[in-house]
Amino acid sequence: MAARGRIRGQARAGDLLELVRSGRATTRGALQQATGLSRATVGQRLDRLFRAGWLREGAGGPVDSPLGGRPSITLEFDDEHAVVLAADLDTRHARAALLTLTGEILAERAGILVVEDGPDVVLGALGGWFAELLAKTDRPARSVCGIGLAVPGPVDSETGRVVQPPIMPGWDGYDIRGRLSGAFAEHTGGPAGVPVLVDNDANLMAYGEQRTGYPDCSAFVLVKVSTGIGAGVVVDGSVFRGIDGGAGDIGHIRVGAEALCRCGSYGCLAAVASGWAVARRLAGAGVEAASGSDVRELLAAGHPEAVGLAREAGRQVGDVLATVVTLLNPGVLMIAGDLAGTPFLTGVRELLYQRALSRSTARLEIVTSRLGERAGLVGAGALVVEHLYAPERVEERLRALGV
């Protein structure tokens, strides 16, 4: 496939960068062959990418050219020229990291940040965290090319705003991008207007896990069961968001129970099978628990009532996932979040295999997270890089750099 459908001979600098980054063409000769451009034109376009500091010559030395003749120097994406900041908000705690452009975490911090305190307070605090991460690694704020943020609610990816989030009071329609890039500039002394990308946490966890652990899986589903319940779907390497960013919001599917959900409706899946619901039932039985992370601690300690409720929650989620799996026929179903342990997975498997068509589950792998609590950060970092270095955006950015 030549450069994402560009007509042969029309490839731009961004298309060449994409071919190098994906590993599909990593020498001048291979780029000529993939794009149909002349050697001189390939040279001119690469020159701009070199001047921007985005490409470098590979350390591996020359390799044989596909066009014959002299061996060619391999080219690679220079992941040293910039860094990315990422943050992942849960309802009561958050994580932030500074990452390389290829997704390696350079510095990380976690702590209590309460989403209910509202976006102004929470995003302002993240600005301070970002400054600490940069100081820890001695990176200048101007080296940050973008910021990725994972939030526990549905996001309109056009505007980066959350839309009627059930567990994020005060955030509906708020200008997250503006506030977070402002907080970054204020706390780090960095430039104003750094691009901010916002997405749902389950989407970004799914994206991070699929890219790093299952790059060949063309239909990947991740279900996050923490205080709330959400799912992220990655199809052919891209997050599937639906037309309003609502895809995967399975926590508020009605399952026919009587329980009142935090969204205000009755009978949602999250009202009976989320970490919040399990915590509430434990609290009703006199066990101290208020959130998904409290339930996680009880599960880790083998608390018998918590184990029983987690398995029951797994069965309820498994019932809904039977439909999800039948609709999408994924290769991998990953269970992540505070409840993702053996009791919950056992419950999921029981109901899923009982209710789904055996054809849709024959080759299905049901797994737990590989990246753990870092999945959202890795996904948020990758989202920023894929956005900023996408062929259609590269031209504008190169022009802004004056190359």
What residues make contact with Zn ion under the rule CB under 5 A?
Answer: 252, 261, 263, 265, 268
* Identity of the residue, 230 or 330, whose beta carbon is nearer to Zn ion in the bound complex: 230
* Identity of the residue, 265 or 368, whose beta carbon is nearer to Zn ion in the bound complex: 265
In the complex, least distance from residue 174 CB atom to Zn ion, rounded to whole angstroms: 21
In the complex, least distance from residue 272 CB atom to Zn ion, rounded to whole angstroms: 10
C-alpha span between 197 and 194 (Å, rounded): 10
The residue type found at 73 is I
In the complex, least distance from residue 154 CB atom to Zn ion, rounded to whole angstroms: 12
In the complex, least distance from residue 263 CB atom to Zn ion, rounded to whole angstroms: 3
* Identity of the residue, 70 or 254, whose beta carbon is nearer to Zn ion in the bound complex: 254
* Identity of the residue, 252 or 374, whose beta carbon is nearer to Zn ion in the bound complex: 252
* Identity of the residue, 270 or 380, whose beta carbon is nearer to Zn ion in the bound complex: 270
In the complex, least distance from residue 262 CB atom to Zn ion, rounded to whole angstroms: 6
* Identity of the residue, 145 or 268, whose beta carbon is nearer to Zn ion in the bound complex: 268
* Identity of the residue, 107 or 263, whose beta carbon is nearer to Zn ion in the bound complex: 263
In the complex, least distance from residue 167 CB atom to Zn ion, rounded to whole angstroms: 9
In the complex, least distance from residue 297 CB atom to Zn ion, rounded to whole angstroms: 25
